[in-house]
Copies of this chain bind each other. A is one copy, B any other.
Amino acid sequence: MERTEISELGEFGLIQRMTRELNHQQPSTLRGVGDDAAVIDPMGKRFVVSTDMLCEGVHFDLSYVPLKHLGYKSVVVNLSDICAMNATPTQVVVGLGLSNRFSVEAVDELYEGIRLACEVYKVDLVGGDTTSSPSGLTLSVTAMGLAEPDALVGRDGSGDDDLLVVSGDLGAAYMGLQILEREKTVFQAAPTAQPELEDFAYLLERQLKPEARVDVVREMAELGLKPTSMIDISDGLSSEIMHLGTSSGVGFKVYEDKLPIDPKVYDTAREFNLDPTLCMLSGGEDYELLFTVKQDDYEKVRNHPKLSVIGHAVAAPDAFTLVTKNGPEVPLQAQGWDGLKGSAESGS
């Protein structure tokens, strides 16, 4: 494969290459890449903005994450934050720190993913900064979005007995990561071994190519359904439930048997000797929407194919409990990844 050094193109050549054929799709984008700043006309709406930084060796491992997927995911995780405000993502700016390990072809691949995400979500890439870094790859994405003033949803609006709802299913991205880590170990031990990944397509896609739930935001608007509070699931369901509760001044009761899981996630968790419920509660990176709705809206959500009612708010702040399948009610714990692995190792 061809390798062109970035120094051959120079900074401006590289920027030109990265931003070629950038077509704007958002009417609010008046001016994009190529000036000191982009210009956006919100036309009477509210403007929302969110930023995320991803560092090689912390947030991704390039030994099993293709650059194109990384580019796609770095945009999507930011769009997910915009969705969590009940807003529509409209623009992104991308900062890129590159060590000289990366060639122009590598940047092309990364940008292919970034552009693909922009196309899929009809957001405009309107600016960026590309610079050299002493080591590794750092990606910083800032996403912007628009909403009607009365459509915005924060984390702080849940009432005492609102229903707790989640979109999609949970735990798949975490199990996808387990598969990738297992294959990396196998590869390191026997580099000629063929990876067995086909069976796990759904899990891998959820890990490598997550999607932001713009569809859920749109469908809720069509249903006339406005959440009272909302957050996206990046760290893990338990931890996000606690964020919603703490911000809103309520507690939550969650029912284990209502948690949505894909059969493949369940089977793979068992194969890895992991507790499927723990994977759903603490796995993270699902980028699903977690929100509360008023009891009166139950009919709008109960049979919605993309939504599951998993619990309800309680008038006791900081009381977060899980009603287990076996009956007993246990405190919900916001375990991070370390906690999850620790638990997993001790069996379940």
Interface residues, chain A, with chain B CB atoms under 8 Å away: 30-31, 34-42, 44, 46-59, 81-82, 84-85, 87, 91, 93-97, 126-136, 138, 140, 142-145, 149, 152, 154-156, 230-232, 247
Kindly provide the distance from the CB of A211 to the nearest chain B CB, expressed in whole angstroms: 16
Closest to A230 in B: B36
Across the interface, which residues of B come within 8 angstroms of A135, CB to CB? 134-136
A40 contact set on B, CB distance < 8 A: 46-49
* Minimum CB–CB distance for A239 against chain B, Å: 9
CB–CB B87/A55 < 8 A = no
- Find out whether the CB atom of A55 lies under 8 angstroms from the CB atom of B85: no
In the docked arrangement, what's the CA distance between A130 and B54, Å?
10
Residue on B with the closest CB to A93?
B51
CB A240 to nearest CB in B, in angstroms, measures 10
Closest Cβ of chain B: how far from A130's Cβ, in Å? Answer: 8
Provide the bound-state CA to CA distance between A249 and B90, in Å. 31
Please list the 6 inter-chain residue pairs (A to B) with the smallest Cβ-Cβ separation, ordered nearest first. Answer: A140-B140, A53-B95, A37-B50, A36-B84, A57-B134, A37-B48
- What is the interface of chain A mostly: helix, strand, loop, or mixed? strand
Report the Cα distance A143→B230, complex, angstroms.
Answer: 26
CB distance from A4 to the nearest CB of B (A): 20
Contact of B132 with A49 in the complex, beta carbons under 8 Å: no
Residues of B within 8 A of A34 (CB): 155, 247
Residues of B within 8 A of A53 (CB): 95-97, 129-131, 138, 140
Which B-chain residue is minimally distant from A140 (CB atoms)?
Answer: B140
Minimum C-beta distance from A174 to chain B (A) = 18
Given A51-B128, A55-B133, 6 additional A-B pairs, CB 8 A: A36-B82, A44-B44, A49-B142, A51-B93, A95-B142, A134-B135
Contact A232 B136, beta carbon cutoff 8 Å:
no
A232 CA to B36 CA, complexed, in Å: 8
10 contacts between A and B (CB under 8 A): A35-B154, A36-B82, A39-B85, A49-B91, A53-B138, A55-B132, A57-B134, A97-B138, A133-B138, A134-B136
Determine if A37 and B96 form an interchain contact, defined as CB atoms under 8 angstroms apart.
no
The residue in chain B whose Cβ has the minimal distance to the Cβ of A54 is B131
Contact residues in B for A41 (Cβ distance below 8 Å): 46-47, 149
